[in-house]
Amino acid sequence: PGYNNNVGHDVSDVYDEVHVAGAVLRANATLLMLSRNSDIDAAVRTVKVLEDRFNRNYRYPWVFLNDQPFTEDFKRRVSILTSGPVYFEKILDEHWYHPKWINETLAQEGRRKMEEDGVIYGGSVSYRNMCRFNSGFFYRQPLLQNYKYYWRVEPGAHFHCDANFDPFAFMQENNKVYGFTITLYEIERTIESLWSTVSNFITEHPEFVSPNSAMDFISDDEGESYNLCHFWSNFEIADMDFWRGPAYTAFFDYLESSGGFYYERWGDAPVHSIAAALFGGTDRIHFFREIGYEHFPATHCPTEEELWRLGRCTCDPTHSFDYEGESCLWRWGSLIGQ
């Protein structure tokens, strides 16, 4: 069940080198947006800018997911903007709500304390559902089974530059599993027991750790502790087969069974980042420096004159988040020798 506007082909046609109304789809990929119905105004602005800056030349499909059924109004307003097929799906309840064995007393106590401490979304159940869904379930949705790569797009995010290339094709040609634009520090209070859980997992499963692991990006003491650096997951271009693979599957199950998504407030950003760093490894992660990207309150703007000019970027290249004190990009740079 999807809106097949204009191009008249089915999602199963969206595959390597398929020509769609003049556009060439080179990778098996989709744009992906998780949204509430109430996010509609922000959603359409973001879809429009990404279509204009990138997708009108490629016509990749869009998949929209929601824990509630999308309204007709949401579907109508989105569908006039997209250049490729567009699909809307309600998330399966068991992928959204907490598992039955979660101790609600403990979870409630955790929320109360975190809210008291003034942690953003500290008292929110729906935010925790969302983080757990983005960590371990989105790539299991029926509609996404057809795809390997996705570009995660959030309502309200802004794209500042023309993409004069296909990031999905780049991922495929270079065997990348994870692409980012912004990296920063996590709020420690939300993930107090995450690193000890990760450490126990890799002690039990050393076979999953890449020989080329990016441990030095996420730890300053060879794995003793987490330095809180993570890729900001409101932007992600990544390979779902990596999440579906044995390492991440075992990793997610291990994290899930600890209850930390609910007893604490583990974000999908540190969870994805730690997995990409340890199991994917340095050479399978890519910094998309030419993609000007804004999600409040941070903007990554290409600082290289040539990239900024060719991208016709609307961001200020002298004010990229890359060089802010809260950015972890310098660690990434030193890891890859730049």
Q: Of 84-92, 148-156, 194-202, 203-211, which segment contacts Mn ion by CB under 5 A?
A: 148-156
When the beta carbons of 39 and 52 are compared against ligand GDP, the nearer one is 39
Query: Residue 57's closest CA among 160, 158, 173, 163?
Result: 163
**Residue 144 DSSP class:** G
Query: Residue 209's closest CA among 271, 272, 274, 279?
Result: 279
Q: Mask: binding to ligand GDP, 231-260, rule CB under 6 A, as x and -?
A: ---x--------------------------
Q: Of 8-16, 30-38, 74-82, 246-254, which segment contacts ligand GDP by CB under 6 A?
A: 30-38
Q: What is the spatial distance between Cα 137 and Cα 323, in angstroms, rounded to a whole number?
A: 33
**From the list Mn ion, ligand GDP, none, which binds 241 (C-beta under 5 to 8 Å, kind-based)?**
none
Q: What is the spatial distance between Cα 267 and Cα 282, in angstroms, rounded to a whole number?
A: 21
Query: Residue 198's closest CA among 250, 245, 251, 243?
Result: 251
Q: What is the spatial distance between Cα 322 and Cα 328, in angstroms, rounded to a whole number?
A: 8
CB of 234 to Mn ion, least distance (A): 5
CB of 158 to ligand GDP, least distance (A): 13
By CB under 6 A, name the one of 2, 110, 136, 155 that touches ligand GDP.
155
Instruction: Count other C-beta atoms under 10 Å from residue 270's C-beta.
Output: 26
Q: Mask: binding to Mn ion, 151-170, rule CB under 5 A, as x and -?
A: ---x----------------
- Structural tokens at position 77: 């307003």
Q: Mask: binding to Mn ion, 200-239, rule CB under 5 A, as x and -?
A: ----------------------------------x-----
236 has catalytic annotation:
yes
Q: Of 11-19, 33-41, 183-191, 301-309, which segment contacts ligand GDP by CB under 6 A?
A: 33-41
Are 319 and 249 in contact by the 8 Å Cβ rule? The answer is no
Chain position carrying tokens 């949204």: 35
Q: Of 32-40, 183-191, 255-263, 319-327, which segment contacts ligand GDP by CB under 6 A?
A: 32-40
Are 39 and 161 in contact by the 8 Å Cβ rule? The answer is no
Count of positions (residues) in the chain: 338
Q: Peptide bond before 297: cis, by omega within 30 degrees of 0?
A: yes
Q: What is the dihedral of CA 42, 131, 98, 138, to 10 degrees?
A: 80
Which of the following is catalytic: 154, 236, 256, 264? 236
**From the list ligand GDP, Mn ion, none, which binds 57 (C-beta under 5 to 8 Å, kind-based)?**
none
Q: Tell me: does residue 283 bind ligand GDP (CB under 6 A).
A: no
User: Can you name the residues that pair with 180 across neighbouring β-strands?
Assistant: 287
Q: Tell me: does residue 299 bind Mn ion (CB under 5 A).
A: no
Which residues are known catalytic residues? 236
Site residues (vs ligand GDP, CB under 6 A): 34-36, 39, 66-67, 126, 130, 154-155, 234
Site residues (vs Mn ion, CB under 5 A): 154, 234
